[in-house]
Amino acid sequence: MVALRIAIAALVAAASLAAVPAAAAAEDSTLIIGMTVPIENPNIWALNSSSEWSAVTLQYDMMLKFSDDDLSAAPSLATGCEPNSDYTRWTCAIREGVTWSDGTPLTSRDIAFTYRFVIDQGFPYFSGYFPEGSTFETPDDNTLVWVTPEPSRGPEVPAWVYVVPEHIWSPYVGKTNKEIKQAPTLPTVSSGPYVMTEAAPGQSWTFERNPYFWGDEPAYDRIVYRLYTNQEAMVQALKNGEIQIADGIESALLPAVEAIPDVVVQKITADSWTNLAFNFGGQDPASAPLRALQDVRVRQAIAMAIDKQAIVDKAYQGVASPGETIIRPLSVYWHLDIPDDQLIPYDPDGANAMLDEAGYARGDDGIRIDPETGDRLVIRMPTSNDTPGSEIAGKLIASFLQQIGIEVNAQPVSAGKIYDMQQSGDFDAYIWYWSGDPDPNYQLSVFTSAACGDLSDGCWRDPTYDALVEKQAATLDQDERLAIVREAQQYVYDQVPAIPLAYPNAIVAYRSDLVTGLTPVPAGNGYLTPSYSYTSLVNARPASSGGEASAPASPGASAEPGAPQAAPAQAGSSGVPVWVWLLVAAVVVVILVVVVVRRRSAAERPDTH
Amino acid sequence: MRSGALDLRFVARRAGYALLTLAFILAVNFFLFRIMPGDPIALLARSQRLSPEALEEQRRAFGLDEPLFVQFVVYLRETLTGQLGVSLVSGVDVVDLIVSRLWPTILLVGVGTLLAAVIGVLIGIRGGWRRGSAFDSSSLYSSLVLYSTPEGWLGMLLLLLFAGWLGWFPAGGFSSAAGLALPVLALSLGYVGQYAIVMRSSMIEVKAQPYITLARAKGLSDPDVRRRHAVPNAVLPTFTLVVLSVGFILGGAIVIETVFSWPGIGLLTYEAINTLDYPVLQGVFLVSSAAVILAAFIADIAYGVIDPQVRQS
């Protein structure tokens, strides 16, 4: 084992040698953020994962942005938009003096170009914000007119579309999306506070400060997103000071994070919510959901028998809030907070009484019988393995419903399997998740009859609800629309086609001794890293105690914005490619091992050869 | 027996087998991942706001709306012309994606395999030669324990100890050379056992052979018998194992790469499985299978050169 010891010692030595120049290289201020979701393609039109959205949000502006306060429309590249009397022409005043990161002026034509490009190419995440037949006029550099054939809320939704420079992207007009997604984009030309200069696939993205940014100057010269595919490793990195912020921590690791000195934990009112959906059938002629679940009294009794607080405590370690309506609280403006006295209470006795009254008597084994079909109330309720907490929630629900004489088979399955079930209708209920826009239209629409066969979970069909959703979509007055949106949420809550079980919080933690000034968006329990806005990272600055993370980012020489750059460089911290160090280490180890072995066999060999 | 020269018919036959295997892999590769439940495009819809029309458009763009047979023909045509398609998730060309992840994997798994093989073989030689000695029994047991330890767990332990508790190494990633130490250590510790065990049993077998007795009878010293007569014969099975392991390097180390956030082929595979990214999975599977088939082919041929008995049979 001597050889093994030597080998390990050599590796350690080589590694620490290599690490020395790395530690000395920190000069500029760098903010390093640990992420757990892969980042793959820096091209804005290929964005997909939450980390990629974050990266794009850090670099680009929208015409009207999500307000930092409550995510409603707020001035950004446009200082404001005014409709004509019938809401078919919106005239937007574009901010003067804004330039792209390569020094080219940003005008209304860039915005019109972006919108036309998005519509013509049909980029999936962006194209849904434009009413049919939208056209754009640019009477001058600082005016954009958005014309729609029908009255619309146009820019005020706001359109979640990032404005790109026409002079960079116009050569791609008419190309296929495949070609556009493979266009080289580094360094980015954008208008936000930072531009991406380096992308190391599957490991890190580096952003440099945009010298032409039109807003307040950010404090950090450089921001690095670093990928951790192992949550424990990210927490260790936060503890060691290798990163200043850890984004997207699992609730199970919260105690470990809270034990780190100087750590501040933000529990974010998250985007997604955990949903128990009932199936009403009709997706497929063969779909045969449990009849009893079509009975609203049974669904209400189930809702009454579920202790949502217990789910929050056990499935989410308390890092969540009990679910209420289908518009999650992050949509601060639209979410309906149901008053305590109108909440369906956790009341198993009341639930039992409801079912007794509805005629679902208990059989010999204690399981209730459907009076119409004679079937036992046994619910097939798989849980999806891509939904954190759903497996434990499923087990808890099985035990809750046992108390009211309903048997539940809660088998965890893959998200793909759940999708197949949703398409075929071959399930009684399932636990999955939803995530949507700040604007409620999308989330409301997935519960309509029209969504059956597409996005609807269990093909609930309710004309009253459909009418409410249609009405809110056509209502242009914001206050009137808000009233209808709230009515729709209350209606779903009462009819129970689905039970929002929990609003899990996303966890972000940062070292308050290293970074300060982070600003939640939306205000209160919002995101600290770019999700809807870059504000937090513009306000962020090194804490006075001195510091930035101990391990610096790879340098990737601060490229002149706008200068063409062929391929992202992959260099180690000291400028020498990592693999050179590693190869050297490996060769040293092998040589050492061979020398030791040879010397030993020579020593053992007698002279009588 | 024609000694020395390589029998061309033997090489051709082996090459034929290798090509057949590759053709089989090519077909399996396509259907294997499509048996997995779910729809890659629909999985996007849950977490992002995608209208049904946008989903349909996505499916069309990637040819996923075509019948399976048509997709298969397109896949064969593209693969045979060296195109592996683009990632359904990121839109990046699969060839570029794999190439960008190749270096980290070769570095990690290559260094790990090399270390494990050298150390394992040395341990095996010594243990097998002095069977029953204190060194032998302790190395045998530790080899067995390490070999049967789940590598992810071993990796986590190393991570918590060296990166968390002692703080000597970064907690993952490719950002500095120090980052290589822990994953390589985890890999080598996990692999060293198999080389040690194979080498040891082969040494024991060889030691009982008459030619060893003869060598001793000639008056050769114990180390000389071991070095000149025992090791060269005993190393043959381990040689095959090493060459095959080299083939497996390109497959990456899914668990270790995930534990240490190492941006290699293994991590790429893990990410692609999570998102049902068919083209990426196919590409990775094809490249790594081809590497193993090639390694097996080389092992066959090389073994034939080293050990004429194989060629004869």
Number of neighbouring beta carbons within 10 Å of residue A562: 17
Q: Is residue B64 part of a domain?
A: no
Which is nearest to A435 in space by CA: A424, A446, A422?
Answer: A446
pLDDT of residue A52: 87
d(CA B9, CA A345): 81
pLDDT of residue A462: 94
Q: Which of B53, B92, B176 to mutate to test the interface with A (most CBs of A within 10 A)?
A: B176
Q: Is residue B91 part of a domain?
A: no
pLDDT digits (tens, 9 = 90+) for A247-259: 989 888 888 899 9
- The whole-number average pLDDT for the span B141-149 is 86
Q: Which residues contact A71 (CB under 8 A, 6 or more apart)?
A: A330, A331, A332, A333, A438, A521, A522, A532
Closest chain A C-alpha to B147 CA, distance in angstroms: 16
- If one counts the domains in chain B, the total is 1
| Cβ <8 Å between B185 and A8 | yes
pLDDT over 90 (residue A297): yes
Q: Is residue B258 part of a domain?
A: yes
Closest chain B C-alpha to A128 CA, distance in angstroms: 7
Q: Is the peptide bond before A261 cis (omega within 30 degrees of 0)?
A: no
Closest chain A C-alpha to B297 CA, distance in angstroms: 27
The tokens 């790109």 sit on which residue? A164
d(CA A265, CA A244): 12
Q: Which of A12, A40, A553 sits opposite B181 (nearest CB)?
A: A12
What sign does the CA torsion over B220, B226, B230, B231 have? negative
pLDDT over 70 (residue A576): no
pLDDT over 60 (residue A216): yes
Q: Which residues contact A454 (CB under 8 A, 6 or more apart)?
A: B52, B55
Q: Which domain holds residue B294?
A: 101-299
pLDDT of residue B53: 67
Q: Which residues contact B177 (CB under 8 A, 6 or more apart)?
A: A14, A15, A18, A19, A572, A578, A581, A582, A585
Residue with the larger pLDDT of the pair A65 and A10: A65
pLDDT over 90 (residue B43): no
Going by pLDDT thresholds of 50, 70 and 90, the confidence category of residue A21 is: very low
pLDDT of residue A472: 92
Structure tokens at B191: 């692999």
Q: Which of B48, B137, B189, B192 to mutate to test the interface with A (most CBs of A within 10 A)?
A: B48
d(CA A205, CA A224): 6
Which residues in chain A are contacts of B57 at CB distance < 8 A? 122, 124
| Cβ <8 Å between B185 and A232 | no
| Cβ <8 Å between A230 and B159 | yes
Average pLDDT, chain A: 84
Q: Is residue B294 part of a domain?
A: yes
| Cβ <8 Å between B37 and A419 | yes
Q: Is residue B136 part of a domain?
A: yes
Counting beta carbons within 10 angstroms of the beta carbon of residue B204, is it exposed (0 to 12), middle (13 to 18) or buried (19 or more)? middle
| Cβ <8 Å between A419 and B38 | yes
pLDDT of residue B309: 63
CB A38 within 8 A of CB B100: no
Q: Looking at mean pLDDT, say which of A137-141, A229-233, A282-286, B242-246 comes out highest.
A: A137-141
Q: Is residue B196 part of a domain?
A: yes
Size of interface A-B (CB pairs under 8 A): 250
What is the domain-level CATH number for residue B174?
Answer: 1.10.3720.10
What sign does the CA torsion over A67, A71, A72, A77 have? positive
CB A269 within 8 A of CB A276: no
pLDDT of residue B5: 55
Q: Is residue B51 part of a domain?
A: no
Q: Determine which of A226-230, A521-525, A576-580 has the lowest per-residue pLDDT on average.
A: A576-580
pLDDT digits (tens, 9 = 90+) for B98-108: 988 888 888 88
The helix, strand and coil proportions of chain A, stated in percent and rounded to the nearest 5, come to: 35, 20, 45
Q: Determine which of A159-173, A554-568, B25-39, B297-311 has the lowest per-residue pLDDT on average.
A: A554-568
Q: Is residue B95 part of a domain?
A: no
d(CA A243, CA A231): 13
d(CA B11, CA B147): 34
Q: Which ipTM value was assigned to this complex? A: 0.75
| Radius of gyration of chain A measured on its C-alpha atoms | 28
pLDDT over 80 (residue A595): no
Which residues in chain A are contacts of B223 at CB distance < 8 A? 601, 604-605
| Cβ <8 Å between A201 and B263 | yes
pLDDT over 90 (residue A223): yes
The tokens 């000695």 sit on which residue? B133
Q: In chain A, whose CA is at the least distance from the CA of B105?
A: A579
pLDDT digits (tens, 9 = 90+) for A509-545: 999 999 999 999 988 889 999 989 999 999 999 987 5
Tell me the C-alpha to C-alpha distance, in Å, between residue A493 and each of A201, A299, A343, A484, A500: 44, 11, 9, 14, 9
Q: Which of B61, B119, B267 sits opposite A202 (nearest CB)?
A: B267
d(CA B171, CA A549): 13
pLDDT of residue A186: 86
pLDDT of residue B67: 81
pLDDT of residue A590: 67
Q: In chain B, whose CA is at the least distance from the CA of A177?
A: B61
Average pLDDT, chain B: 81
